[in-house]
Amino acid sequence: MGILYEDVVLIKEAEKAGDPTVITVNCPDKTGLGCDLCRIILLFGLSIARGDISTDGKWCYLVFWVVGRPTTRWDLLKNRLLEVCPMCSPSVSQIYYYRPEFQQPKPPDVFLLKFWCYYDRKGLLHDVTKVLCELELTIKRVKVSTAPDGRVMDLFYITDTRELLHTDKRQEETIAHLKAVLRDSMISCEIELAGPEVTAMSQGSSFLLSAITEDMFCLELPNQNTNNFLPSNLVSVAIDNSLSPSHTLVQIFCQDHKGLIYDIMRTLKDYNIQISYGRFFANPKENCEVDLFVMQVDGKKIVHPEKQNALCSRLRMELLRPLRVDVLSRGPDTELLVANPVELSGRGRPLVFHDITLALKILDIRIFSVEIARHRIHDREWEVYRILLDDGDGFALPRDEIKECVRKKLMCWE
């Protein structure tokens, strides 16, 4: 007995403002499915207020109560969630475990979006980024340059989730949306397939100082005096093997933040750990409580002390510092540096550049140049955003104020 394809994902929209929308997923199980679903929910700008997960090892049932944008395109969200669910079949007899060598997707084509504007303005880069996000275009790299006469040329290297950017219709749609935002300031706009050199440029071509890498990308749990996102005593991760004969209970309590459930799920996915049952919710005090009954890839509990400590330490680190933020001096200029870990599947964190540019727009700071590249540091891949701030107007905001505003926007701490 199978299930109709359209019933794999069901979305019940909120009946009134303030109520959550309920997303139900009912499909064959695979390790990392929770991570893939949570990443898409985060990509659509939604927050998970509550969730339930259960599986018998072959079939899983997940329910998410989400809140967020009133303009969410629910039909599109449903299609994106369906794409990551395993194919449904009445003969399903085993869990699909995550194996990077088998599940790496084919690299998407990279396109160059180039446009000229008569003049720059604060917030322009965020407005363009917002349009591209709404069109499901992923930004891989950005170059911003200003001519002596004040005209601005922006180069965006992008990929298309819908894989249609090679068509005239998709390109015309993209240019029309950009014209609606840029209005009379736009001089010209072109989209073309980028050359193979772009892929090489995205793989950490820039040099990062060793002092930066040691401080920002440290994988050790920080001490109380380190500048973290959260005080370490506000994140609790505990393991209990006494409540179930076949599963390990992982209990987490911490302050809620944007993408919290995704951060937990991606960590478990990278460790190839299967969730058999889970429940999580954010309480009115903006704290999140998570109970997960898990097992290893071999179907056994996590009993070895070293494995338990490694998992707890990594979870605490990912919840303490899901992203790394710093503001540095680069000669006479000021550089904003933001980094997030990349999943073993090769996927980066959604909406990071969107939130960075929004924070700088709020601070009324122009962006002079942007570099987005991937670096392998401490045996881990990171997506690194280097943003050179335009201090032509002599802005005098302290570095700590810039860092704090960007951090709060990334974590959705208003």
In the prediction, which pLDDT does 184 show?
A: 86
Strand, helix or coil for residue 298: coil
- End of a domain among 136, 170, 193? 193
In a domain, 105, yes or no: no
| 12-16, 79-83, 281-285, 286-290: range with lowest mean pLDDT | 281-285
Claim to verify: residue 18 and residue 66 sit in the same structural domain: yes
Confidence class of residue 333 from pLDDT cuts 50, 70 and 90? confident
In a domain, 211, yes or no: no
Q: Do residues 242 and 305 share a domain?
A: yes
Q: What is the pLDDT of residue 148?
A: 78
Q: What's the whole-number mean pLDDT along residues 215-223?
A: 68
**Token pair in block for residue 61:** 């049932």
Q: Between 95 and 249, name the one with better pLDDT.
A: 249
In order of 21, 36, 120, 306, the CA distances from 145 in angstroms are: 43, 36, 10, 51
128 and 82 in a common domain: no
| Residue 149 covered by a domain | yes
Residue finishing a domain among 165, 193, 221: 193
Instruction: Identify whether residues 335 and 409 lie together within a single domain.
Output: yes
- CATH code at 381? 3.30.70.260
Which residue, of 268, 289, 320, is where some domain finishes?
Answer: 320
Cβ burial of 154 (10 Å; 0-12, 13-18, 19+) is: buried
What band does 95 get if pLDDT is binned at 50, 70 and 90? very low
Q: Give the least confident one: 196-205, 228-237, 339-348, 385-394.
A: 196-205
Give Cα separations from 263 to 10, 187, 326, 348 (angstroms).
24, 41, 20, 11
For residues 187 and 119, state if they share a domain: yes
How confident is residue 18, by pLDDT bands cut at 50, 70 and 90? confident
Q: How far apart are the C-alpha atoms of 347 and 343, rounded to whole Å?
A: 5
Q: How far apart are CA 329 and CA 278, in angstroms?
A: 45
Same domain for 80 and 48:
yes
When divided into structural domains, the chain yields a total of 3
- The pTM score is 0.87
Residues 123 and 142 in one domain: yes
For residues 176 and 183, what is the distance between their CA atoms, to the nearest angstrom?
Answer: 10
pLDDT over 60 (residue 204): no
In a domain, 327, yes or no: yes
Q: How confident is the model at residue 294 (pLDDT cuts 50, 70, 90)?
A: very high
- 50/66 Cα distance (integer angstroms): 7
What is d(CA 191, CA 187) in angstroms, rounded to the nearest whole number?
14
Range(s) of the domain holding residue 69: 9-88+234-320
**Residue 369, CA distances (Å) to 43, 185, 300, 309, 344 in order:** 24, 19, 50, 41, 29
